[in-house]
Amino acid sequence: MGLVNFYITLFIKLTMKIITLHCDYIRFKPLKKAFKGAEELDSKAQLEKEVREPLVVLVAIEKGDNDQTVSELVEAVKKTAKEVKALNIVLYPYAHLSSNLAPPSTALEYLVEAENILTKFFKVTRAPFGHYKEFELKVKGHPLSELSKEFRGKVEEVKGEHKVLDLENYDPSKLLREISKTKLDTSKLKENDHRILAQRLDLFSFNEVAPGQVFWHDSGLHIFNKLKYFVSKILKKYDYQIIDTPQILDGKLFKVSGHWAHYRDNMFLTKYEDRDFGVKPMNCPGAMLVYKTRPRAYRELPLRFAEFGTDHRKELSGVLAGLFRVIKMTQDDAHIFCTKEQIASEISNLLEMIKLIYKDTFGFDYSFELSTRPEKFMGDKKDWDDAEKILESVLKKSKAKYKINKGDGAFYGPKIDLHIKDSLGRSWQCSTIQLDMQMPKRFELAYTGEDGKEHMPFVIHRAILGSIERFIGVLIEHLNGNLPLWLSPRQVKVISFTDRNKKVAEKLVSEIKAEIPELRIDLDNRSDTVQAKIRDAELLKVNYILVVGDKEEKSKTLAVRARGEKPKFGIKQSKFIEDLKKEIAI
């Protein structure tokens, strides 16, 4: 333990937080004042407003923000607006981004200042400040459509003084109490919210020591791993190679891929031996390097690289929402390297995979959206036209429901997005299929054609589940936690009717486990009423409850209660095990 005598100067970093959303539209209407002294509105300002094709800037002004942070806000908005070619800006006060808000008068002053500056470059609409508002918007869904940023203004110096600091003098108990403060606020959540169900079913948790990053518990990790296994089997059927690439990569790689210029604000950056490194936000660059490890020939194509890639993306704490919006995520990504002639068959295979997973396995209704060439695009117009025709012809051939979303493709190629409907009627954008005609150029990808010459492959980026974390959240709410047997973390529970049936119940668990080693089966031998034990098992969403009493012990049969159904008596053990094996198989 060392003591250090030094002169301390305190530096306070001043921050402002924003989220930019590139939207098809936003509609909003002030309803009532949120506090006394809120901005006064004339009759026109009280009406509903709609702005088309805006860059919406959700902004929270915090204590300590100043002219410099406002200046940085303006520059960031100008940069993003230029990248997405937005002419309309909507400044939308959004207090939920911060718990350290500036006084209302200060916040309004800086919002007006930002509005006045931006008005010189754009058509600016500022939503009313200090009012409860209803609003609706549709985010476009391209890589730059959702960004979160924070700005650090000038560093203010506070008068220093001499201090003696004990470098090891901290209180672990106090730190632990601070760490342990994380608690889920359920007051505004619905009963079927996946965060509430996760607590009840002991699936996962979050902690402020790792914002937006999931702590998987045993039962939740079982679901996560089973989904990966399920998808892996499908990948093998369609002849994918499964790869794994590093998470921390040299900044040079992201400069080649374009992420450094377009996505750096949302990346976690670090230095190692005086080199800039970034934690990957997407898996594309690594897959490109794997392709380039050796010369490729036309006979190898299509070449399909799948990766359950772990990605990290900076998000402001105010927008994190359980599994739906996280910082650390696992994507079931794939990059398919193919010729132009192979695009149609590869897209067709992907539509088959989507049907198998979403419709046939989980019962989701879905439709597709084909997004075409935006105003700002890279590449040759003819290549775009050809690619769009290929994608639409495959959608028509599959007889899938789809609509055209003109001008909303990624800057590097057209894309197909999957929109699913859950049991509550909510729409979710999950799978995406993107045709990339630019990444191969940036990485100088090539293969030797049948003519002996070098050619550039096309690349299809695709994710079927998308973020596995997000998919699990959607699935839990869609099924209200009632997962199918093969995915369920609590598959069978054996309950002894009385204390005298305990040994037979223990024997039954051992025998079933011997027949199905991978089965997740539990024993409840507590000295409690059978009704209480059944109720506890039902609350845990157990798929099958087996009750062993004197009658079952004597007849050597089982009383089987399938989840949500009435019990069936006199079931032979061998028959139950045989049916279980069939149902659990995937």
* pLDDT at residue 153, as a whole number: 52
Taking CA 526 as the corner, what is the angle to CA 524 and CA 531, rounded to the nearest 5 degrees?
80
Cα–Cα nearest to 483, from 378, 363, 345, 571: 363
* pLDDT at residue 2, as a whole number: 45
Which residues share a beta bridge with 278? 249, 269
Distances (CA, A) of 264 to 24, 64, 108, 352, 489: 24, 25, 30, 35, 38
Among 412, 444, 478, which residue terminates a domain?
478
CA distance 217 to 204: 5
* pLDDT at residue 1, as a whole number: 41
Residues 465 and 505 in one domain: no
The rounded Cα 517 to chain-centroid distance in angstroms is 33
Residues 379 and 234 in one domain: yes
Q: What secondary structure letter does DSSP report for 398?
A: H
Distant-in-sequence, close-in-space partners of 551: CB < 8 Å, separation ≥ 6: 559, 569
| From 284, 304, 311, 520, active-site residue | 284
Range of the domain at 291: 194-245+283-478
**Residue range 369-424, pLDDT digits in tens:** 999 988 877 777 888 888 899 899 989 988 888 999 888 887 778 899 999 888 77
In a domain, 166, yes or no: no
Amino acid letter, residue 5: N
Instruction: Identify whether 438 is a catalytic site residue.
Output: no
| From 331, 436, 462, 493, active-site residue | 331
> Is the model's pLDDT at 9 over the cut of 60?
no
Higher-confidence residue of 204 and 7: namely 204
* pLDDT at residue 254, as a whole number: 93
| From 296, 313, 533, 561, active-site residue | 313
Mean pLDDT of 40-49: 88
* pLDDT at residue 412, as a whole number: 76
Instruction: Identify whether 199 is a catalytic site residue.
Output: no
Residues 234 and 289 in one domain: yes
* pLDDT at residue 151, as a whole number: 65
**Residue range 246-301, pLDDT digits in tens:** 999 999 999 999 888 878 888 999 999 999 999 999 999 999 999 999 999 999 99
* Parallel/antiparallel/unpaired status of strands 88-93 and 54-60: parallel
Three-state secondary structure along 335-356?
A: EEEECHHHHHHHHHHHHHHHHH
Q: pLDDT confidence of 163, banded at 50, 70, 90?
A: very low
Question: If you average pLDDT over every residue of the chain, what do you get?
Answer: 88
Residues 148 and 234 in one domain: no
Residues 535 and 567 in one domain: yes
Instruction: Identify whether 335 is a catalytic site residue.
Output: yes
**Residue range 26-39, pLDDT digits in tens:** 999 998 888 777 88
Distant-in-sequence, close-in-space partners of 455: CB < 8 Å, separation ≥ 6: 298, 339, 446, 447, 448, 449
- The 10 Å CB-count burial string (b at 16+, else e) for 506-521 is eebbeebeeeeeebbb
H helix runs in 377-515, sequence order: 381-398, 439-442, 468-478, 502-515
| From 222, 312, 419, 461, active-site residue | 461
Number of domains in the chain: 3
Among 447, 478, 509, which residue terminates a domain?
478
* pLDDT at residue 152, as a whole number: 59
**Residue range 504-539, pLDDT digits in tens:** 999 999 999 999 999 999 999 998 999 999 999 999
In a domain, 189, yes or no: no
> Is the model's pLDDT at 206 over the cut of 80?
yes
In a domain, 5, yes or no: no
Distances (CA, A) of 225 to 39, 217, 243, 416, 532: 51, 12, 17, 27, 31
* pLDDT at residue 65, as a whole number: 82
Q: pLDDT confidence of 200, banded at 50, 70, 90?
A: very high
In a domain, 174, yes or no: no
Mean pLDDT of 143-156: 63
Distant-in-sequence, close-in-space partners of 27: CB < 8 Å, separation ≥ 6: 48, 49, 50, 135, 136, 137
CB atoms within 10 A of CB 23: 22
> Is the model's pLDDT at 7 over the cut of 70?
no
| From 65, 193, 333, 524, active-site residue | 333
> Is the model's pLDDT at 14 over the cut of 80?
no
CATH number at residue 361: 3.30.930.10
| From 312, 415, 478, 533, active-site residue | 415
* pLDDT at residue 54, as a whole number: 93
Among 157, 173, 206, which residue terminates a domain?
157
Interhelix angle 502-515/573-584, nearest 10 degrees: 40
Higher-confidence residue of 340 and 149: namely 340
* pLDDT at residue 15, as a whole number: 63
CATH number at residue 82: 3.50.80.10
Do residues 387 and 343 make contact, with C-beta atoms less than 8 angstroms apart?
Answer: yes
* pLDDT at residue 13, as a whole number: 43
H helix runs in 399-430, sequence order: none
Residues 464 and 535 in one domain: no
Residues 426 and 509 in one domain: no
Distant-in-sequence, close-in-space partners of 199: CB < 8 Å, separation ≥ 6: 184, 205
Distances (CA, A) of 357 to 230, 351, 366, 534: 9, 10, 11, 32
Residues 372 and 401 in one domain: yes
* pLDDT at residue 155, as a whole number: 44
Residues 336 and 469 in one domain: yes
| From 296, 335, 493, 533, active-site residue | 335
In a domain, 78, yes or no: yes
CA torsion sign for 249, 251, 256, 260 is positive
Mean pLDDT of 436-444: 89
* pLDDT at residue 165, as a whole number: 44
Query: pLDDT > 90: what percent of the chain?
Result: 57
Q: pLDDT confidence of 318, banded at 50, 70, 90?
A: confident
Residues 473 and 511 in one domain: no
Tokens 């025709």 belong to residue: 389
* pLDDT at residue 145, as a whole number: 67
Higher-confidence residue of 317 and 93: namely 93
Which residues share a beta bridge with 88? 54, 123
CATH number at residue 527: 3.40.50.800
Q: Is the peptide bond before 93 cis (omega within 30 degrees of 0)?
A: no
* pLDDT at residue 156, as a whole number: 45
Instruction: Identify whether 23 is a catalytic site residue.
Output: no
* pLDDT at residue 168, as a whole number: 59
Tokens 């499908």 belong to residue: 234
> Is the model's pLDDT at 162 over the cut of 50?
no
Mean pLDDT of 43-66: 89
In a domain, 171, yes or no: no
Higher-confidence residue of 429 and 466: namely 466
In a domain, 261, yes or no: no
Residues 447 and 517 in one domain: no
3-state secondary structure of 528: coil
Residues 297 and 230 in one domain: yes
Q: What share of the chain is helix, strand, coil (3-state, %, to 5)?
A: 35, 35, 35
Instruction: Identify whether 415 is a catalytic site residue.
Output: yes
* pLDDT at residue 261, as a whole number: 83
In a domain, 384, yes or no: yes
Distant-in-sequence, close-in-space partners of 258: CB < 8 Å, separation ≥ 6: 442
Instruction: Identify whether 430 is a catalytic site residue.
Output: no
Q: pLDDT confidence of 190, banded at 50, 70, 90?
A: confident
